[in-house]
Structure 1
Amino acid sequence: MEDPALKSDQTLNPGLSIQKALLVVLGWLLVIAVIIGVVYQARLSDPYVQDVLHHEGTVAQGNAIFQLNCSGCHGTSGDGKVGPSLRRVTTHRSQVGLIYQITSGKTPPMPKFQANPQEMADLLEYLKTL
């Protein structure tokens, strides 16, 4: 059955519509990727982050900091309690992302944690062991 809204010289081209839709989706993915890259670069250029990344952390010190400041919510082994499990957190979060997460306090009920750069480097090193 013919669509009365189409004139006799108009035809549907489903292939062209799919191509246009794919181009729009790819365009949006590109925009999102650029935004993520800009945000990451902005965080990476933060002087505090740079300072943390230039320090070499120690697991033992990081464990002590974790037990004192984090274990109440994340459990003594990082398995989670009130806060989520931190097991293998470094496999899906970058060090820059972890620094921002820990220091920002933007995920309630987690408070801001303001450690000096060496302490943060130690904590990051410990998180790698979970």
Structure 2
Amino acid sequence: MNEQLAKPNVSFQKLVAIALVVAISVVLGVLAVYQIRKPVPYIQEVLALQGDAVQGHAIFQINCSGCHGIMADGNVGPSLKGVSARKSRARLIEQVISGQTPPMPKFQPSQKEMADLLGYLESL
């Protein structure tokens, strides 16, 4: 009879352990999302600037047109027409500077150059 009482405790302990692991996983997941979404100072500085779309077009031609096409309509890389309607300003900046979408290289222009490039991308 003592063995029968011990078995439910083991099951209860397993359930508590599983619940604890799930709770910790959820907390870590929320923290990871917060860290990913937390704007870095570079992005905040770029967003505070007014970009010049004409200057941004020149930056685009030098650094981006080889893959995204001279008219930003795609080549090796995707078309960027209407990209600002699909992605937030912060996400566009992050996309350019991160290098997280191979084969796009990591590119970190000055804050003013990035603001200009952002101005151009928003004009597409």
Task: Tell me if both proteins adopt one fold, taking TM over 0.5 as the criterion.
Answer: yes
Which aligned pairs between 1:30-109 and structure 2 lie closer than 5 A?
35=30, 38-39=34-35, 41-42=37-38, 44=39, 46-109=40-103
SS of the aligned residue for 1:64 comes to helix
Distance 1:88 1:40 in 2: 24
After superposition, the Cα gap between the structure-2 partners of 1:93 and 1:39, relative to the gap in structure 1 and judged at 3 Å, is farther
How high is the TM-score relative to the length of structure 1? 0.68
Distance 1:96 1:37 in 2: 15
Q: Superposition RMSD on alpha carbons, in Å?
A: 1.8
Distance 2:75 2:48 in 1: 32
Paired position in structure 2 for 1:115:
109
- Normalized per residue, the structure richer in helix is 2
The AA in structure 2 aligned to 1:59 is: A
The AA in structure 2 aligned to 1:100 is: E
Distance 1:53 1:84 in 2: 24
How far is the alpha carbon of 1:37 from its aligned partner? 6.6
Distance 1:37 1:78 in 2: 31
How far is the alpha carbon of 1:112 from its aligned partner? 0.6
How high is the TM-score relative to the length of structure 2? 0.71
Which segments of structure 1 move beyond 3 Å, counting only runs of 4 or more?
A: 34-37
How far is the alpha carbon of 1:93 from its aligned partner? 0.3
Structure 1 residue runs without a partner (length 5+): 1-30
How far is the alpha carbon of 1:38 from its aligned partner? 2.3
Would you say how many aligned residue pairs link Structure 1 and Structure 2? 96
Report sequence identity in percent.
Answer: 53
Residues 4-31 of structure 1: per-residue CA shift (max 9 Å, x gap) = xxxxxxxxxxxxxxxxxxxxxxxxxxx7
How far is the alpha carbon of 1:58 from its aligned partner? 0.4
